[in-house]
Amino acid sequence: MTRKISEQNLKLTQAAQLTKQASILYQQGNYSKAILKTKEALEIRKTILGNEHIKVAVTLNNLATLYNAQGNYSEVELLLKQAIKLYQKNLGEEHPSVATGLNNLALLYNAQGKYSQAEFGFKQALEITKKSQGEEHIDVATALNNLALLYNAQKRYTQAEPLLKQSLEIRKKLQGEGDIEVATALNNLGFLYNYQRRYSEAECLFKEALEFSKKLLGEENHYVAGSLNNLGTLYNEQKRYSEAETFLQQALMIYKKILGENHPYLIQTFSNLATLYNNQDKYAQAEIFYEQAIKLSKELLGENHPNTKTIMQHYLSMKYRMS
């Protein structure tokens, strides 16, 4: 009996180590390996702890987050709903873990363009988090950021800006220079300013995010690529085409190297490069990148996703001008 318990404890320790390794791989943008390690941890916990244990719920949520980042949306909703149900059963309706699950489910709906469902989920998560954790908590910063990004996608900029500023302020206050998500918050606020044509403010934030990411994680990771992509978009809109091309090509190279050829992050970079060449009347080059963006968007997001439709509209508009 004692030997059996000892073996089970060793297995659970192994599951914990696998989870830590998956977290590191996720930060590095290596989602495929992170998924394999998380699946292995999930099977260990189900076998030893049972299918309804709280640690099984945590692992289901982690796995769903990884699939969401990879753009494999067919797997995500079921996993998240299972996790939320287990959180509620084990911890109660207003536990922070329930908020985390609701937040992640809302992220899925946002990615699918189901904006009303996403907004409801983000607001639910924010309310639970504030109630259980207080007004100034890192999870509140995350919930504020996610709700702001939803508003940004809907061009509800005046609602998005104060939420992004509040999220950034909380992160800087609580974790400062040691939190890579500060770079994400800087990028998101900069992206909002870019949409509003507040270019000098956007450029400062993108550059700050870029240097922050390089300092913490090095030259090649998806945080650095995101800042490069945002700077490229900014320079394109300002007709600083040479600078824009340099940054966008760098971002594309990093994304392909660390994430492979079929990742959702590539869609926007392909589209941004297409727009850059289109703006310069370099239609042959623009067409190549539009076609790549459309193909990947259809495969990963679906033909009816707002992003797919937008890219298709831009492509057809260019083809009309060419004819």
DSSP state of 92: -
Q: What is the pLDDT of residue 262?
A: 82
Separation of alpha carbons 147 and 267, rounded Å: 22
| C-beta contacts of 48-51 below 8 A and 24+ residues apart | 48/8, 48/11, 48/12, 49/12
Burial 175-193 (b: 16+ CB within 10 A, else e): eeeebbbbbbbbbbbbbbb
Burial 87-103 (b: 16+ CB within 10 A, else e): bbebeeeebbbbbbbbb
Q: What is the pLDDT of residue 291?
A: 96
State the pLDDT confidence band at 111, using cuts at 50, 70 and 90. confident
pLDDT exceeds 70 at position 51 = yes
Query: In this predicted model, what pLDDT tens digit does every residue of 179-238 receive, in sequence order?
Result: 888 998 999 999 899 989 999 999 999 999 999 999 999 999 889 998 999 999 999 999
Rounded to an integer, the average pLDDT of 120-130 is 96
Query: In this predicted model, what pLDDT tens digit does every residue of 5-48 receive, in sequence order?
Result: 688 889 999 999 999 999 988 866 677 899 999 999 999 999 99
Q: What is the pLDDT of residue 293?
A: 95
How many residues are given for the chain?
A: 323
Separation of alpha carbons 39 and 173, rounded Å: 35
Q: What is the pLDDT of residue 38?
A: 97
1-92 and 95-174: identical CATH topology: yes
Q: What is the pLDDT of residue 134?
A: 93
Q: What is the pLDDT of residue 28?
A: 63
Q: What is the pLDDT of residue 22?
A: 93
pLDDT exceeds 90 at position 128 = yes
Q: How far is CA 244 from CA 60, 205, 275, in A?
A: 40, 16, 11
The answer to whether domain 95-174 has CATH 1.25.40.10 is yes
- The first and second tokens of residue 198, run together, are 């507040």
Separation of alpha carbons 272 and 194, rounded Å: 14
DSSP string, 106-127: HHHHHHTT-HHHHHHHHHHHHH
Separation of alpha carbons 28 and 223, rounded Å: 9
Query: In this predicted model, what pLDDT tens digit does every residue of 263-317 receive, in sequence order?
Result: 888 999 999 999 999 999 999 999 999 999 999 988 877 787 778 889 999 999 9
Judge whether 301 and 268 are in contact, CB under 8 Å: no
68 vs 238, higher pLDDT: 238
Provide the total of helices (H) and of strands (E) in the chain, helices listed first.
15, 0
> Whole-structure pTM over 0.85, yes or no?
no
Query: In this predicted model, what pLDDT tens digit does every residue of 221-247 receive, in sequence order?
Result: 889 998 999 999 999 999 999 999 999
Judge whether 92 and 85 are in contact, CB under 8 Å: no
Q: What is the pLDDT of residue 285?
A: 96
- The first and second tokens of residue 17, run together, are 């180590």
Query: In this predicted model, what pLDDT tens digit does every residue of 144-191 receive, in sequence order?
Result: 999 999 999 899 999 999 999 999 999 989 887 778 889 989 999 998
The answer to whether domain 1-92 has CATH 3.40.50.20 is no
Domain positions in the chain are 1-92, 95-174, 179-239, 261-323
